[in-house]
Structure 1
């Protein structure tokens, strides 16, 4: 019997998977033998093997997560290869018994440099009644380490495997997963969905851009669109600390985070420990220089050098003409995603975000031993441009032409936290605005693509580290849009106490560009006291 962990680094389970989805009564019925699933036809690939077997798995129940349930499933592993790539790709499909199947198929995404996380996401999906698939893209399931596949034996970028990771294998997974589902249940899924966050969100956007007919609905959260720009920019905090020879402690960084929230909290008219009106937030870190904070039971004074580091991090990389190239860490977000450091022989040393550092070492520098501490302020704009020039064509997630998706019946839903410390929400807003510009405005785009911004929520809504209300069951919201025609105006959100798990407040997260504005009366912790409005207004309550 298999049991698997409930969380994985920065790519949390709860934010990616849905729960309490609308039920489709599929009924019982017969199935094909799990051991005799035929090889699916996958255009552009050759199927090497199909292995199916019945098994028992333990998966987390929906509430609480640590209460496991035991399920009987059919596990089908499909291995395939692509001509000229010398790869071996694994696609795994989990299928609940006929009486447990909800009639839907759900493909799951990955995170970092992992194309899929298999058991971690397949288990909760089948527990909700989906047939579900995951893929390794022929690379690895390691979100951090690309050493086994990024470069070939000659030290050149392995473009075949990069194409697998970037685009091709998500499409292959859709084909394989739906075909295996149809073979096993002797009928196709009523509806099919893609569900991912972070790199999984990027994978969902690739599906929307390149393969708009693969799914009926795509849930692409905190999407790592503009992949080359994002990963070069995420190295910026490390360059700032190294260049200034100043490495603030985690405690000092937390003092700046809380000060940023305090400075901008009331801009939405409500004091609640969350920055909602982040566009009008003008936090000045230099104001904290000379202030005392408690760190480890001792009083420490924030230095001007530390304040300058924080200011430079928020300013982000710029061109020589001082034009900002990319946003990095939003005010109110945790700094420990990209601004970590460590001690080497007692001296502070950079500790980069591993997805960013792997990108720079292997794909840009083509040198696994490249010393990241040698990077300067001037290098980040160059690396950003190099990444776009060399890899935008193959990563493709920044392609804003969604005309094919517009013509299809597929719906695309995205939510992004406004306190995301790894993938700045401005990249998602930039993408949405560019789609609107191409396709004739927001109302036309809203017919098939809707965006929701969650104040105070970090990367993918990682459990226990959010000041704001985390979206609840966005997959269920998407399903209502697809299956019942209910285009969402809001997604319900819930904030919980980090220690007790008790609900502290609720919000309805509004469809972009609308915001949740306090009506002026009623419980400020209750969602019904807020309305979706074009702005926060000028009145503070």
Structure 2
């Protein structure tokens, strides 16, 4: 079948309506020549009277390598991100489409820009519809993955030899949910910064906003860039040498959590430079301990101390967005408030989309009384947020379908991720490993990235290609070990005293990149142990 021949009738896939197909030449934003198909699936009318569908596109290379990638997108979804298949990490030029993969991308079953009640918080209005919640949580990926494979079979005359899923942030959550619910649909899944406990993380966002706002009465002034740099310096002073080399990278994450005391960052006597106040130190202690209810029970997770707290992305998410009209809020408040109100709690709470309304929702959120709404359901909303948003086996992970089908999964997470706690992902992996008697690494690997913020950025070597490792594992039975990560030239967070050619080993958990001598800027001078 040629691209101009693609139509609803020609594909003949039940529940799929083709809107258009076009030939896209190489260049002008396209890495290679391909056919782009724009289509709808699972069209329906919601309980709110609004028309819903999964809007998706699939890009089919002229020179296809025989493989399929389902691109899982981030945030609240709601838009069809171009299906180029970014291969994650800081290097945005590396894409699956560019090396011959067919790639599918969708809006996860809702249009984030076109809904009634336009005054409601943008991007999360769909949460008022029970079925739209489920499509966002898992049903869009479940529906589209076999459809994507059917399109390939119709277009190329043959099914893909291998199928992969790729995503970071909420896209990483999609990946973990897919691995748990229908892992046998994928040969390999690459997961970055997974928000697999996203409703719980939204409760953390309320704690963050309440704690930081209480410092000065204005989130924007709670921590300056200099304040966070001072904390990063204190962490380095306590932890940098634990991996054998003082280089601005803390590789021994576990030892650092034992070694670091936030009080070392507090101003002493008349020293008022490169330090923080006792109140600021207490605020960070509260945030890093995670939200708790009146009985002391943990509602989300603890967080890891890491010098990447000095990264601008950390402040962007936690303290202040520089984007008007949201520049009086951190990005977490913008996205977290609307999601917590209208998607993650049952019944949903309608919240206006202006900055003051979003801020006030989080300030008024009662951690003890309201946090349990993420587990609630009722006659209209028959699945709780913790049911439709998280892997069913998150507390006791086994990924049976993925493992039994021979699939592989690689996860990576920035240790200084301000959105989702690296320690939450680490604890999930430890539970998985315990369920397989210490041998989960036969099909699942976790790579912490020291210094890295959310999905990329921060004072880190964030240019790495874990997708290549995943494919070699799936198709050539080459089990990944250490992976070389590079400094990215366009990363403004790289310290001035780092070599622009610095490389480091990313080690599979629980191994630590340890300096053994030689060129301090080279990954070859480190071993994973």
Alpha-carbon distance, 1:240 to partner: 0.2
1: distance between equivalents of 2:108 and 2:147?
13
- The reply on whether 1:312 has 2:286 as its aligned counterpart is yes
Which one of the candidate residues 63, 71, 74 is aligned to 1:108?
71
Which one of the candidate residues 424, 432, 436 is aligned to 1:435?
432
Alpha-carbon distance, 1:352 to partner: 5.2
Aligned to 1:131: 102
Give per-residue Cα distances to partners, 1:347-393, cap 9 Å, x unaligned: x9654512211222223351214564365698235444321343111
Aligned to 1:205: 176
2: distance between equivalents of 1:531 and 1:504?
19
1: distance between equivalents of 2:274 and 2:425?
38
Give per-residue Cα distances to partners, 1:253-302, cap 9 Å, x unaligned: 332233223322122221110121222224333333336899xxxx7974
Aligned to 2:366: 379
Question: What RMSD, in angstroms, separates the aligned Cα atoms of the two structures?
Answer: 3.1
1: distance between equivalents of 2:428 and 2:499?
35
Alpha-carbon distance, 1:470 to partner: 2.2
Quickly say closer, same or farther: Cα 1:337–1:262, change in 2 above 3 A: farther
Classify the secondary structure of the residue corresponding to 1:503. coil
Quickly say closer, same or farther: Cα 1:309–1:214, change in 2 above 3 A: same
Which one of the candidate residues 176, 180, 199 is aligned to 1:228?
199
1:62-141 aligned at under 5 Å gives the runs: 71-82=32-43, 85=46, 86-97=51-62, 100-114=63-77, 117-119=80-82, 121-122=84-85, 124-140=95-111
Quickly say closer, same or farther: Cα 1:350–1:151, change in 2 above 3 A: closer
1: distance between equivalents of 2:458 and 2:502?
12
Aligned to 1:251: 226
Q: What are structure 2's unaligned runs of at least 5 residues?
A: 87-94, 377-383
Quickly say closer, same or farther: Cα 1:40–1:503, change in 2 above 3 A: farther
Which piece of structure 1 moves more, 159-168 or 390-399? 390-399
- The reply on whether 1:481 has 2:500 as its aligned counterpart is no
Structure-2-length-normalised TM-score: 0.80
Alpha-carbon distance, 1:113 to partner: 0.6
Alpha-carbon distance, 1:398 to partner: 5.5
Classify the secondary structure of the residue corresponding to 1:360. helix
Alpha-carbon distance, 1:34 to partner: 3.7
Aligned to 1:392: 386
Classify the secondary structure of the residue corresponding to 1:253. helix
What is the total number of aligned residue pairs between the two structures? 471
For the Cα contact (< 8 Å) 2:3–2:23, is it kept in 1? no
For the Cα contact (< 8 Å) 2:206–2:363, is it kept in 1? no
1:288-303 aligned at under 5 Å gives the runs: 288-290=265-267, 302-303=276-277
Q: What are structure 1's unaligned runs of at least 5 residues?
A: 1-30, 60-67, 534-541
Bigger strand fraction: 1
Alpha-carbon distance, 1:149 to partner: 6.9
- The reply on whether 1:54 has 2:17 as its aligned counterpart is no
Alpha-carbon distance, 1:94 to partner: 0.7
Alpha-carbon distance, 1:151 to partner: 4.7
Bigger helix fraction: 2
Which one of the candidate residues 450, 454, 469 is aligned to 1:455?
450
Give per-residue Cα distances to partners, 1:6-37, cap 9 Å, x unaligned: xxxxxxxxxxxxxxxxxxxxxxxxx4344335
Which piece of structure 1 moves more, 273-282 or 313-322? 313-322
Which piece of structure 1 moves more, 496-505 or 160-169? 496-505
Quickly say closer, same or farther: Cα 1:202–1:69, change in 2 above 3 A: closer
2: distance between equivalents of 1:268 and 1:433?
22
Quickly say closer, same or farther: Cα 1:374–1:478, change in 2 above 3 A: closer
